[in-house]
């Protein structure tokens, strides 16, 4: 039993854990476990029945939250090896009941995980991504509206995906969450704080490192799935090695101080949109992009491509101030490029070196703005 969601319930903690009947078979259950908050001793447990909305489906990685007098869990539903999406179920004493299909109004990939929930202003919110920081609010049953979407450059610092870990909880005047990414073959985890305006105020470096996980089904996997604030302690409950459940205990004041020492500074970037699709033209374009980045080393550059496989090609050029992302609707770009390699080189190389590092426009050789695409 591992990767549990958890909430405080008086002097006890309720967990909903992922229960594998054997090593990662299709028979996955949700186990409701009550433990003593002081000793962490198991007091009782039972297997929760899957209702019709989950019948015959693999369910994974529960994150629990109290809302409107209910205990809810956002969790992944696997409909096929290549189709995974979170839903919200209501947790009762005996089973998982349908609550919300969590159909967010955004373009989704076939595999979606790590969506987390928090209550703000009396409404249920879904933190979809940390960069671009993307948050939705539930305005009615089965209805979610976008309330925030802004790039901040955090993901550009990492070689692998930046992901949510837990449902954020009230803390230090905001909402405390944990983030994770993968370095080599190990998971690493840190904390962040959302402010009252739902922007990222602070974020720490690595607090928990999967390097210490040397046993289990998956060595190196340390997956924080719940936070419990109690007195001057914050419990980070996590799955270890995809085999069992562990807990790390932080002194709340120390964690708050660590966050204060780590104010978050968004990084603006020059945005280049590339509309080509063929690898050969993209490789030739990358020579011009690399020259552009080399002449502007003090600026961060983001290249937006049509498909993530082009991003893998871009990484082979090892350009330190270049990040590659997939295109998304509504974003404004400083340059728009296609597969005409000669035109590409002319457009992005024949500009002045004092290209400003803020979104909206780039100054051309004649001193005038290059319009948005």
CATH class name, domain 2-260: mainly beta
Is residue 99 pLDDT above 90, yes or no?
A: yes
From-to residues of CATH 2.115.10.20 in the chain: 2-260
Residue for token digits 């989704």? 108
* CA-to-CA dists, residue 86 to 26, 104, 132, 204, angstroms: 17, 10, 19, 27
Stretch 153-165: mean pLDDT: 93
The DSSP bridge pattern shows strands 270-274 and 301-305 to be parallel
On whether the CB atoms of residues 370 and 361 are closer than 8 A, the answer is yes
Nearest to 210 by CA among 254, 160, 152, 262: 160
Stretch 4-9: mean pLDDT: 97
Phi first, then psi: give them for residue 292, nearest 5 degrees: -60, -50
Cis check for the bond before 125: say yes or no (omega within 30 of 0).
no
Is residue 372 pLDDT above 50, yes or no?
A: no
pLDDT at residue 347, as a whole number: 58
Can you state the percent helix, strand and coil of the chain, rounding each to 5?
Answer: 15, 50, 40
pLDDT at residue 327, as a whole number: 87
As a whole number of Å, the end-to-end CA separation of the chain is 50
| Helical axes 279-294 vs 341-349, angle rounded to 10° | 20
Stretch 32-51: mean pLDDT: 96
3-state SS class at 282: helix
The DSSP bridge pattern shows strands 58-67 and 70-80 to be antiparallel
Note the pLDDT tens digit of each residue in 51-98.
Answer: 999 988 899 999 999 999 999 999 999 988 789 999 999 999 999 999
Does this model's pTM top 0.95? My answer is: no
Higher per-residue pLDDT: 307 or 19: 19
On whether the CB atoms of residues 127 and 166 are closer than 8 A, the answer is no
Confidence of residue 348 (pLDDT cuts 50, 70, 90): low
Q: What is the distance between the alpha carbons of residues 63 and 161, in angstroms, rounded to a whole number?
A: 20
Note the pLDDT tens digit of each residue in 289-329.
Answer: 898 898 888 888 999 998 878 888 888 888 989 988 888 87
Residue for token digits 């979170």? 86
pLDDT at residue 346, as a whole number: 55
């Amino acid at each position: 039993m591992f990767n549990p969601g958890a909430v405080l319930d008086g002097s006890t903690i309720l967990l909903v854990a992922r229960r594998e009947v054997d090593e990662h078979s299709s028979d996955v259950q949700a186990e409701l476990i009550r433990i003593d908050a002081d000793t962490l001793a198991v007091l009782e447990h039972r297997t929760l029945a899957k209702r019709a909305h989950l019948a015959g489906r693999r369910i994974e990685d529960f994150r629990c939250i109290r809302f409107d007098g209910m205990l809810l869990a956002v969790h992944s539903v696997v409909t096929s090896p290549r189709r995974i999406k979170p839903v919200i179920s209501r947790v009762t004493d005996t089973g998982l009941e349908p609550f919300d299909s969590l159909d967010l109004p955004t373009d989704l990939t076939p595999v979606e995980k790590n969506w987390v929930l928090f209550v703000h202003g009396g409404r249920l919110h879904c933190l979809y991504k940390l960069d671009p920081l993307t948050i939705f609010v539930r305005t009615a049953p089965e209805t979610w509206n976008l309330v925030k979407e802004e790039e901040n450059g955090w993901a550009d610092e990492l070689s692998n995906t930046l992901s949510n870990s837990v449902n954020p909880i009230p803390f230090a005047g905001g909402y405390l969450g944990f983030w994770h990414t993968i370095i080599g073959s190990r998971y690493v985890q840190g904390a962040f704080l959302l402010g009252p305006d739902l922007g990222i105020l602070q974020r720490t470096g690595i607090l928990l490192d999967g390097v210490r996980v040397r046993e289990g089904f998956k060595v190196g996997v340390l997956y924080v799935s719940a936070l419990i604030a109690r007195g001057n302690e914050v419990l980070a409950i996590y799955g270890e090695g995809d085999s069992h459940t562990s807990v790390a205990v932080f002194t709340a004041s120390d964690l708050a101080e660590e966050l204060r020492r780590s104010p978050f500074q968004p990084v603006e970037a020059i945005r280049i949109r590339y509309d080509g699709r063929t690898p050969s033209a993209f490789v030739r374009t990358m020579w011009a992009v690399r020259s552009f980045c080399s002449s502007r080393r003090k600026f961060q550059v983001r290249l937006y491509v049509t498909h993530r496989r082009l991003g893998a090609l871009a990484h082979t050029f090892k350009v330190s101030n270049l990040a590659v992302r997939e295109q998304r609707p509504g974003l404004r770009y400083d340059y728009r490029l296609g597969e005409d390699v000669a035109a590409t080189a002319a457009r992005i190389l024949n500009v002045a070196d004092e290209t400003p590092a803020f979104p909206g426009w780039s100054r051309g050789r004649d001193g005038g703005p290059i319009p948005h695409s």
